[in-house]
Amino acid sequence: MNSIFQMLLALLVAFCGSILFIFLHLPLPWLLGSIFATSLLIRFDKIPIQSPKLFSAPARILIGLTIGSAFTPQILEFIPHYAISLLLVIPFTILVIFFGTFYYYKVLKYDLKTSYLGSMPGGVIEMVIIGQELKADTSKITLMQSSRLFFVVVSLPFIIQYIFQIDIRGNQLLTTPIKDINMFDFSYIYIFCIFGALLAKKLKLTAAYLIGPMIVSIVLYSTGFVNTHIPDELLKFIQIVFGSIIGFTFRDVGIKTILKTLVATLGHFAILILLCAIFIAIIFYSLDFKALDILLAFGPGGQTEINLIAILVGANLPYITLHHIVRLFIVMNIAPIIAKRLK
């Protein structure tokens, strides 16, 4: 009971960090705010908190379910029209990973697994989960991934506002509140995903509690068997849980190391800008798509944040969403397979 109390207290601390980030209008508040608050408080030994690992497995299953839920029949209908542009996501993703890994491994002298997973254009939580299972440096991966998302999400509004001359305002939700969700439908989807996680674990798949539910969710949503949305409150709770767990990985990491990693990530961000510019130019001059849509489709930021910006500026949401789904699908499938073989 004492351990559970300390875990709940850690989640409360993480929640307060998220509220602070919302108040300060900072990006990714539910995730980055909880990471910030937890990593700050763990430096005080007398505060009775511990990592809420008890919530880790259920939260991982929810993340896998959420990723798979993007594969709806309506989204899949657009694939033929966007086929060439979607195919270009493959070389783009490979180049981002290659040059990012090269930069961190050869230039900054990070270990190879950490360089590889830190350069992945995927989500912070997903890469940290894989990093934990593969014994990589999760504190550095967190910093590298969070910095990338931070730089992308912070810079995009300025690029759109000053280059495209579009004013970005508003605070719209992309997900559905829990009061508008059929919780019975959602419950049996989650149960299916639990079985998917257990089967993946039995088959000894890397990140089984993430990959198993993702595959089950893709099958259920892409066939139209289910169409229930993920409750907004649960998605925020997942970010708080993993924000708190990630925050505990900084227990023995000095402030100097954190600042050094943030500055080092600017080099990776410069590589991302260059690669994005090249692919935007190729697609803009060879295919019939708007530059803003291509920018948002290939911008390697968080899908939720990119989609929110796309809604606010009236961009082509199916085009943008599909590109992010393809990129995330590539990353989630090749990341654990290749990382396991890296020495």
Specify the pLDDT at position 163.
76
DSSP string computed for 69-80: TT--HHHHTTTT
pTM of full prediction above 0.85: no
Q: Which tokens in the block code for residue 35?
A: 């990471």
Tell me which residue of 101, 92, 137 sits closest to 119, measured CA to CA: 101
- Indicate the SS3 state at residue 176: strand
Helix (H) or strand (E) holding 16: helix 2-23
204 torsion bin: left (phi>0), alpha (psi -120 to 50), beta (else): left
Tell me the per-residue pLDDT of 301-314, one tens digit each, with 9 for 90 and over: 766 667 667 766 77
Contact at 8 Å (CB) between 9 and 49?
yes
What pLDDT, in 10s, does the model give residues 119-166?
Answer: 888 777 778 877 877 778 888 888 888 778 777 766 776 777 777 776
Tokens representing 82 are: 């966007």
Local confidence pLDDT in tens for the 343 residues of the chain? 788 898 999 999 999 999 998 888 776 688 888 888 998 888 887 788 888 888 888 988 888 888 788 778 877 788 888 999 999 999 999 999 999 999 999 998 888 888 888 888 877 777 887 787 777 888 888 888 877 877 776 677 677 777 777 655 444 444 678 888 888 888 889 999 999 999 988 987 766 888 888 889 888 988 888 888 788 888 888 889 888 888 887 777 777 877 887 788 888 889 999 999 999 999 999 988 888 889 989 987 766 667 667 766 777 877 887 888 888 888 877 777 777 776 5
* Domain boundaries defined on the chain: 57-341
Phi, psi torsion values for 176, nearest 5 degrees: -100, 135
H/E stretch holding 265? helix 255-286
